[in-house]
Amino acid sequence: MCLEALEAVISFIFVQTNYNMTILILGSGGREHTFAWKIAQSSLCQSLFVAPGNSGTAEIATNVNINVTDFEAIKALVIDKEIDMVIVGPEDPLVQGIHDFFLNDETLNHVTVIGPERAAAELEGSKEFAKEFMYRHNIPTAAYQSFDASNVKEGYAFLETLNPPYVLKADGLAAGKGVLILNDLVEAKTELKSMLVDAKFGEASTKVVIEEFLDGIELSCFVLTDGKNYKILPTAKDYKRIGEGDTGLNTGGMGAVSPVPFATDKFLYKIEQRIVKPTIQGLQKDDLPYKGFVFIGLIKVGDDPKVIEYNVRMGDPETEVVLPRLKNDLVEIFQAIANQTLDTIDLEIDERAATTVVLVSGGYPEAYEKGKEIIGIENITDSIPFHAGAKLDDGKVITSGGRVMAVTSFGNTYQDAIKKSYQSIENLSFDKMYYRKDIGFDL
């Protein structure tokens, strides 16, 4: 056989074996729409499912109405559709051990799962576990002590040694509501009791971590790891409060910017040396199997980064600004994670800034109405409207959650990008639509 013919055969085999993956994404938010949007561009993905998905994922993939923690239903789907790879969006299935569920089942253990195993997911599942991990590996974070119902009095005594504000954290998952920051000592003691004794956050507050308050500006760092090697994705900053000027209640996120202008090369170097490296090495030393995203919530205190928290997944809405800037084929990266060859990948990042502005239902994060028709999506041409709490109903897109849509734009500067997102939003409307008009105000 001549050389060309041999090459043709080899490339044919290559095409046959690599270009036909069936992929499942778990989740239904803007983050998962962004994953679907990115994966749909991959030449390695032949067929894409999202469970349960939303109106945005319905346009580019097949939605399957399965709950992300219904492992048996997910198993049936994976077998039925011959799924090769599962990307886990939210933390709940990871903390409940979905990766272990796949590994321990001989009909599923050939499937690639992107997300850590249960033991490692405790970095998000338990604040105390995360603090102990950071202390063990000398990773800079706030000083702390943890308490349970048996030593509430010691908890009061510890609070008395601290200066206000007081930071109280429910140990377990509390849907983003488990952190209280209080200025008054008496109130802090009352809340501590209500968490530990009266189960304010249910099971999640059986233990409470009390922390030193750190004063600074926050940012998020996203790391991909195959358990051995790591790659750092672009930084992002999200805006958590409902009100302009970062006021009012905490939300799941009202907007995001990437890159973070104050994260200079020097500061990023500190993050990598002091936090990312010891985190990845710590996972190995502690035998915590990790193939997925590590989301490190950071705070810049003076010129130094400190860890506020770990999450074992991507952030939302940070994903909506980080993934659009990634030029690589994401499925190729996920394959490298599965094969522990992430060191062979060079990340290519779009130099431009990306921003997203989140449209929410009026009233969110408290009570709000659903089922409102979203008008004007088709008129958006300069931005990418990632759907979140939105679903299809009789051919219309209607609201189905608090965070409804994240409108992402590129720009040469983050100011240009934000301007574009706001211009695109002019095209959109639904009853009681609300969004913050000051994303990026503090940069």
The one-letter amino acid code at 160 reads E
Q: Label residue 352 exposed, middle or buried (CB < 10 Å: 0-12, 13-18, 19+).
A: middle
Least separation in angstroms between CB 143 and ligand AMP: 9
Other residues' Cβ atoms within 10 Å of the Cβ of residue 82: 9
32 binds ligand GLY (CB under 6 A): no
Q: Binding residue for ligand AMP (CB under 6 A) from 179, 338, 347, 349?
A: 179
132 lines the binding site for ligand AMP (CB under 6 A): no
Nearer to ligand AMP, 252 or 324 (CB): 252
Q: Which is nearer to ligand AMP, 89 or 178 (CB)?
A: 178
Q: Which of 81, 80, 1, 75 is nearest to 46 (CA)?
A: 81
Q: Does 142 bind ligand AMP (CB under 6 A)?
A: yes
Torsions phi, psi for 330 (to 5 deg): -65, -30
Minimum CB separation of residue 238 from ligand GLY in Å reads 4
Longest dimension (CA), the chain: 84
Q: Which of the stretches 116-124, 149-157, 207-215, 404-412 binds ligand AMP when contact is defined by CB under 6 A? A: 207-215
Q: Which of residues 235-254 bind ligand GLY (CB under 6 A)?
A: 238, 253
Partners of 112 in the beta sheet? Answer: 85
Q: Is 191 in the site for ligand GLY (CB under 6 A)?
A: no
Report the C-alpha gap between 408 and 155 in whole angstroms. 44
Stretch that binds ligand AMP, among 148-156, 211-219, 338-346, 385-393 (CB under 6 A): 211-219
Residue 218 engages ligand AMP in binding (rule: CB under 6 A) = yes
320 touches ligand GLY (CB under 6 A): no
Q: Which does 179 bind (CB under 5 to 8 A by kind): ligand GLY, ligand AMP, none?
A: ligand AMP
Q: Which long-range contacts (CB under 8 A, 24 or more apart) does 147-152 make?
A: 147/192, 147/196, 147/207, 147/208, 147/210, 148/196, 148/206, 148/207, 148/208, 149/196, 149/197, 149/206, 152/192, 152/193, 152/196, 152/197
Report which of 429, 436, 437, 435 is spatially closest to residue 372, judged by C-alpha positions: 429
Q: How far is the CB of 187 from ligand AMP (least distance, A)?
A: 16
**Minimal distance, residue 438 CB to ligand AMP, in Å:** 17
CA distances to 29, 104, 125 from 97, rounded to whole Å, are 21, 11, 11
Q: Which does 211 bind (CB under 5 to 8 A by kind): ligand GLY, ligand AMP, none?
A: ligand AMP
Q: Which stretch binds ligand GLY (CB under 6 A): 3-11, 80-88, 157-165, 308-316?
A: 308-316
Paired tokens of 366: 């408290």
Among the listed ranges 38-46, 189-197, 209-217, 424-432, the one in contact with ligand AMP (CB under 6 A) is: 209-217
> Phi and psi at residue 66, in whole multiples of 5°?
-130, 140
Instruction: Dig out the tokens for 416 from the structure.
Output: 């240009």
List the one residue from 117, 211, 318, 320 that touches ligand AMP (CB under 6 A): 211
| Binding of residue 440 to ligand GLY (CB under 6 A) | no
Alpha helices, DSSP H only, in 19-115?
A: 30-40, 55-60, 71-80, 91-95, 98-103
Instruction: Give me the residues that bind ligand GLY (CB under 6 A), please.
Output: 238, 253, 311, 315-316, 318
Instruction: Give me the residues that bind ligand AMP (CB under 6 A), please.
Output: 142, 167, 169, 179, 211, 213-214, 218, 297, 308-309
